[in-house]
């Protein structure tokens, strides 16, 4: 079929751009000698307790997976090359990528440092749809030496599913009329938006494939999954009306940070150090957005992957690490059953920009914070440049093994995208 006919039909044309093994690919572009070799990006590569953040396809072929302990990875692949993440390098590469996307259309919505959506419905003057995708993919590869996959579809969900179907350097078109052939035979756990626990719940009501989900009674799905059941049913049927919104990067209702521990632990000293780190991350991100919130949520994932979330709503807005940790630590003491912890997360919810908050912060606190704003900005700038607060006087040596790269870096990139 002539791909140019896609442009002649009514309806949207959405791209999902997904960079392939992004961190590892950036390192290979920076040092071509790494190409073709099994490479893993990991925190604490000198320690057995380090965790794999991402890996090259050569490493994945050996069984290396994200979040795998380094000792396991090296057992599977003794020749594995392990490097620490270079976040500034990845940030620079990502900015160049999104700049190229924006040269095609202003309708670009970043969703993380290495993926985003584009609405190319009205880009007819640049050629047919497939040519636009090929030219963009080639441009990123030639100028930055970075591979990407592109999914093409009439909406965001199908474009996302399409981009995962061929990697690396794939271009996949997914049309609604092809769902029963291409999408529906896949296991429901392979569907974007369906996690392990949701898949288990769906399997329990005999929903094993995406096709089963598409055909399942919506009322029954809502009984099991709530409103999410209806949403997933719509997605399975190729229904997704969400626009590609360049301004969505500025929307936020919660600000959080999570941390996978280097090993499952019940050591309260180590746990409190991680809590301190998370609280500092959340405070920093709130300051970047000039925001405050009224609810603190704590997430605990135990050694068996069982996860609980507990929250407390406050009477006033808060925005400091001390206030956040005060509530988070209370939640920890109340709800931790002393089983080994695998992951911790702290999130401030009910967030609003300070200028929109009707009930202002205490005047003394506000003035004290305002008086230190220049200092905060300087420290934040140095933190981004050097990776930690260089003015911090506490001994952090004991904490180093626990601090692994987190998703907060990706969120911070989105914070900066519009600047």
Q: What is the pLDDT of residues 224-270, one digit of tens each?
A: 999 999 999 999 999 999 999 987 766 667 899 998 888 899 999 99
3-state secondary structure at position 342: strand
Name the band, by pLDDT with cuts 50, 70 and 90, for residue 363. Answer: very low
Angle CA(22)–CA(16)–CA(199) in degrees, nearest 5?
Answer: 85
Q: Whose structure tokens read 């089963």?
A: 212
Domain 252-417 in the same topology as domain 184-236: no
318 sits in the region (left: phi over 0; alpha: psi -120 to 50; else beta) called: beta
> Binding site for Mg(2+): what residues are annotated?
18, 114
Top pLDDT among 46 and 305 is at 305
Peptide bond into 168 cis (omega under 30): yes
Residues making up the annotated binding site are 18, 114
End-to-end CA gap in the chain:
42
Helix-helix angle 268-288:408-417, to 10 degrees = 10
Catalytic residue positions, numbered: 115
Residue 66: what pLDDT?
86
CB burial readout 108-118, b (16+ within 10 A) else e: bbbbbbbbbbb
The residues spanned by each domain of the chain are 7-182, 184-236, 252-417
In the block, tokens 């090259």 appear at 56
What pLDDT is attached to residue 395? 37
Note the pLDDT of residue 351: 87
Torsion of CA 392, 393, 397, 403, to 10 degrees: -20
Q: Binning pLDDT at 50, 70 and 90, where does residue 10 land? A: low
Global pTM value? 0.68
Least confident residue range of 29-33, 59-63, 152-156, 399-403: 399-403
On the question of pLDDT at 400 being above 50, the answer is no
One of 3.30.70.270, 3.40.50.970, 3.40.50.11750, 3.30.450.40 is the CATH number of 7-182, namely 3.30.70.270
- In the block, which residue shows the tokens 């791209």? 15
CATH T-level assignment (fold) for domain 184-236? DNA polymerase; domain 1 (1.10.150)
Q: Quick one: tokens of 307?
A: 């996860």
Question: Any idea which fold 252-417 has?
Answer: Dna Ligase; domain 1 (3.30.1490)
What digits encode the pLDDT tens for the residues 22-67? 999 999 999 999 999 999 998 766 655 678 889 999 999 999 998 8
Confidence of residue 415 (pLDDT cuts 50, 70, 90): low
> Is 302:335 a contact under the CB 8 Å cutoff?
no
- Return the pLDDT at 356: 63
Token duo for residue 254: 């919660």
pLDDT at 419: 47
């Amino acid at each position: 079929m002539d791909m140019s006919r896609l442009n002649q039909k009514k309806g949207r044309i959405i791209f999902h751009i997904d960079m392939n093994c992004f961190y590892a690919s950036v390192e290979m572009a920076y040092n071509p000698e790494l190409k073709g070799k099994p490479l893993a990006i990991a925190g604490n590569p000198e320690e057995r307790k380090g965790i794999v953040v991402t890996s090259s396809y050569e490493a994945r072929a050996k069984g290396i997976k994200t979040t795998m302990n380094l000792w396991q990875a090296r057992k599977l692949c003794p020749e594995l090359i392990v490097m620490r993440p270079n976040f500034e390098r990845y940030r620079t590469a990502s900015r160049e990528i999104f700049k190229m996307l924006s040269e095609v259309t202003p309708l670009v919505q970043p969703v993380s440092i290495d993926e985003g959506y584009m609405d190319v419905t009205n880009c007819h003057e640049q050629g047919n749809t497939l040519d636009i995708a090929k030219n963009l993919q080639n441009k990123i590869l030639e100028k930055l030496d970075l591979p990407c996959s592109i999914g093409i579809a009439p909406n965001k969900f199908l474009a996302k599913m399409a981009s995962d179907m061929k990697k690396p350097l794939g271009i996949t078109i997914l049309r609604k009329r092809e769902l029963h052939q291409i999408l529906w035979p896949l296991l429901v756990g392979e569907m974007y938006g369906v996690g392990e626990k949701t898949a288990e719940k769906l399997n329990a009501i005999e929903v094993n494939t995406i096709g089963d989900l598409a055909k399942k009674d919506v009322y029954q799905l809502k009984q099991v999954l709530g409103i999410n059941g209806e949403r997933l049913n719509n997605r399975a049927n190729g229904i997704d009306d969400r626009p590609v919104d360049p301004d969505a990067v500025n929307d936020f209702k919660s600000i959080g940070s999570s941390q996978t521990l280097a090993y499952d632990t019940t050591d309260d000293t180590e746990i409190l150090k991680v809590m301190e780190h998370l609280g500092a991350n959340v405070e920093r991100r709130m300051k970047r957005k000039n925001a405050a919130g009224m609810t603190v949520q704590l997430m605990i994932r135990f050694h068996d992957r069982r996860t609980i979330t507990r929250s407390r709503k406050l009477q006033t807005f808060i925005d400091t690490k001390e206030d956040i940790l005060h509530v988070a630590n209370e939640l920890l003491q109340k709800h931790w059953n002393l089983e080994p912890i695998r992951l911790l997360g702290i999130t401030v919810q009910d967030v609003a920009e300070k200028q929109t908050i009707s009930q202002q912060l205490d005047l003394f606190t506000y003035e004290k914070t305002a008086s230190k704003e220049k200092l905060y900005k300087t420290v934040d700038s140095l933190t981004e440049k050097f990776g930690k607060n260089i003015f911090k006087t506490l001994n952090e040596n004991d904490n180093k093994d626990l601090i692994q790269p987190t998703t907060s870096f990706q969120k911070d990139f989105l914070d900066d995208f519009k600047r």
